[in-house]
């Protein structure tokens, strides 16, 4: 990643990544709901979309322990933003 002059440059990059992922994978709520449904079909366990976001955050923290890559931090920020969006809107 290039050097940044302000922390909001990082937030701008996160926003760009989020928009790109939305174009690639569609609406985050639909995508996370699909993940919940697939999890149930495979394992017979109900999980909610907040749980999925928490697992993705945990995955990024774990991966960063193994190899400190800048995209892990950016993805971490985006998954935290998704989790906060779900919480703010009472989306399970």
Full pLDDT tens readout for the chain, 92 residues:
567 678 999 999 999 999 999 999 999 999 999 999 999 999 999 999 999 999 999 999 999 898 888 788 999 999 999 999 999 999 99
Backbone phi, psi, residue 44, to 5°: 70, 20
Two tokens at 80? 């935290």
Q: What is the pLDDT of residue 76?
A: 94
Q: Residues 6 or more apart from 71 whose CB is under 8 A from it?
A: none
Q: What is the pLDDT of residue 67?
A: 86
Number of domains, the chain:
1
Residue 2 belongs to some domain of the structure? no
Record the pTM.
0.89
Residue 1 belongs to some domain of the structure? no
Range of the domain at 23: 7-88
Q: What is the pLDDT of residue 2?
A: 61
Query: Exposed e or buried b for every residue in 38-53, given b needs 16+ CB within 10 A?
Result: ebeeeeeeebebbbbb
Is 53 in contact with 86 (CB distance < 8 Å)?
yes
């Amino acid at each position: 990643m290039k050097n940044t002059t302000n922390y909001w440059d990082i937030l701008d990059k996160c926003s760009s990544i989020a928009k790109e992922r939305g174009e690639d994978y569609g609406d985050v709520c639909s995508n996370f709901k699909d993940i919940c449904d697939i999890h149930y079909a495979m394992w017979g366990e109900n999980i909610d979309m907040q749980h999925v976001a928490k697992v993705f955050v945990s995955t990024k923290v774990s991966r960063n322990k193994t190899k400190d890559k800048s995209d892990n931090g950016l993805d971490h920020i985006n998954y935290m933003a998704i989790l906060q969006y779900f919480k703010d809107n009472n989306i399970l």
